[in-house]
Structure formats: structure tokens, C-alpha cells
Structure 1
């Protein structure tokens, strides 16, 4: 099996958290900057969360590379809870330490990571060796945590909009490098 290169990306700055929220003006500029970043990087396939902010973040990359963006609902952001939680950051931190923790109307970290990793595993088992995946901060961090347990809440807090992690997968071994440093 060839070495696989996967670029796990977090979307650009958005106007909000709802699935229909679009990018801000700054976010739209970031999406163009992201496409510029990928100019010299080979991409054979782009898979994205169907959320508007994710699609708008990867569309310029797809246009530059004359590709279509495949939407996959499994890349949607994790729902921590469907009720308003004033202490949501504390609960989020706890959910990174206890992946089975599940809040009202929400999804556990383990459940979210499993669906995100399903997309990743299907992508790397396919014929493409250079794959871009656009998702959201919480889900992306949970996926990284499953690949390398040193990732967690602090890495989520340090993540930027956008952000890019390069996964190099060879013979079942995965190296992770954060390559976005803007």
C-alpha cells in the first residue's frame, strides 16, 4: 500500500455554529488563503461536512483543483448537548477526558470520533493517496485524539480557523503534523 496523505482541516471563521451559518468576510478571505496554501499540494479527493461553513471553506480548493466536493454527514460537528450550557467549555473538557460522557441531546466523544474515523478509514482504503477532509474543531480534535492520545481539550483550544493537520499513514502507522501556522 502506498503512503496515504490526509489533510484534516478545520473550517474558516464563520458567523455562528448553526449548520446553515456562512463564513464571515474574514472567513471568505481565509478560504482563498487556504486554497493558495494547497496550490502546490497534490489532492485527489475532497470530502467535507455538509455544514455551510465547511463547504464554503473548501470550495476554493476544489475550484482551483477542478474537483467536486463530496459531502458526508458523518463529518458534521459534534453536538455536545441540545440545551444551553453556561459551563459548556468545562463540560467539553470533561468530555475529552471521558469519551463516554454524554450530555442531554448530545453525542459522546467516542460516538463522534467513531463516525469521523469511519470517513477517514473509508477514504484511506480507497484508491486515492492524497485526500483532503474538511470538518469542525471538536470533531477534528476527537479524531486526532483517537490517532494520538496526546490530543485533547488544550489542542482544541489552540486550534485556529482554519487549521490543517497532515496525516501520513504508512503500514498502519500514522504521523500527525500541524502544517497551518498562519
Structure 2
């Protein structure tokens, strides 16, 4: 049975250290209209999101169009890099991608974050067989989920993502058979 998962990286946000409540920027809010327009054509059945405000805001227009609630799934939240903010983000993120078992104190390794994300993804697939499902999420966890199925989706791929971005993953049961970028 085929079904599609639409991984939506959140739109541009206003930086605050409050991960949970960080809102979209004006540009991000504008881009969500385009996200909605693209996904209106995809016959979506369910809309899921990370609990982070910016991810919810990015897919809220799709849920409103469908007249459904955004279903919150904690396993789609962004990977935790460290307990405290890191001094050099570029160095830190490069290090965790170079060694998928490495993690900073209080953070998640790539393997840990990937396992969490895949558990959420497989649960959604299991709960809604044959359905088209939008998942509002974040760049790192999105790429880690894609990487689980194909190692070509790695650090460089993550660096090239747009904000927002949309990837349609077509599955037969739980086997990924095709990936299509919808955001252009």
C-alpha cells in the first residue's frame, strides 16, 4: 500500500533562545502561504507537527484548509545539540554529523535523534496506512529521518535545505521508494 509523507521544514523564524515558543518571522509567515498552496494540491489526510511554535505555524494553514487539528508529536521536535547553547554552532553541528554516536553533554547524537524521529514516523505510518500525511518539523531531525532510509541525505544535504522546505516521501508500507522536492 502506497502513502506519502510530506516532511516540511519550518519557515524562517525570529531567533530567541526559547526553542518551544520561537515564532516565525514576517518572511516566514509569508512563506507559509506558499506552503499551504503547494500542499492543497496533494490530497492531505492528516497534519502532524513538532510541538515547537514555528513548526506548527508553518503547517497550520494546511490544517485550516482541511478543517483538521494539527496533531502534535513530540518525536518530531528538533534534535537537542547540547544542554546549554554551544559557543560555536558550526563546529558543534559538524562534529555530531562526523560521528553519528557523538553527543555533547545533555544533547543527542545523530543516532539518538534519528531513532526518536523514526519511531515517530513509523508510528504515524502505522496509524494511518495508505494516507497522505504532512509533518511540520525541523531541518536536522528531518534530514536524520531521511538519512535512515538513504545515507545520501546527510550533512551537506542539510546545509542546502531552504527554510521552509518540503520533501514528499513515497512509501510502500514502510519502505521508501521515492523522494520528491516540492519547494522550489
Q: 1:54 is matched with which residue? A: 55
Alpha-carbon contact 1:96-1:142 (below 8 Å) kept? no
Shift in Å, 1:138 = 0.8
Shift in Å, 1:176 = 4.0
2:150 to 148, 151, 161: 148
Matched, 1:169 2:171: yes
Alpha-carbon contact 1:101-1:109 (below 8 Å) kept? yes
CA distance in structure 1 between the aligned counterparts of 2:74 and 2:128, rounded to whole angstroms: 21
Shift in Å, 1:172 = 4.1
Q: Which runs of 5+ in 1 are unaligned?
A: none
Matched, 1:11 2:10: yes
Alpha-carbon contact 2:122-2:174 (below 8 Å) kept? no
Q: Which runs of 5+ in 2 are unaligned?
A: none
Q: 2:108 is matched with which residue? A: 107
Q: 1:23 is matched with which residue? A: 24
Q: 1:69 is matched with which residue? A: 70
CA distance in structure 2 between the aligned counterparts of 1:150 and 1:77, rounded to whole angstroms: 20
SS at match of 1:161: coil
TM-score by length of 2: 0.92
1:39 to 1:147, Cα distance in 2 relative to 1, 3 A: same
RMSD, matched Cα? 1.5
Shift in Å, 1:55 = 0.8
Alpha-carbon contact 1:101-1:108 (below 8 Å) kept? yes
Alpha-carbon contact 1:165-1:176 (below 8 Å) kept? no
Shift in Å, 1:23 = 0.5
For 1:66-145, what aligned pairs fall within 5 Å after superposition?
Answer: 66-128=67-129, 129-145=131-147
Shift in Å, 1:63 = 0.5
TM-score by length of 1: 0.93
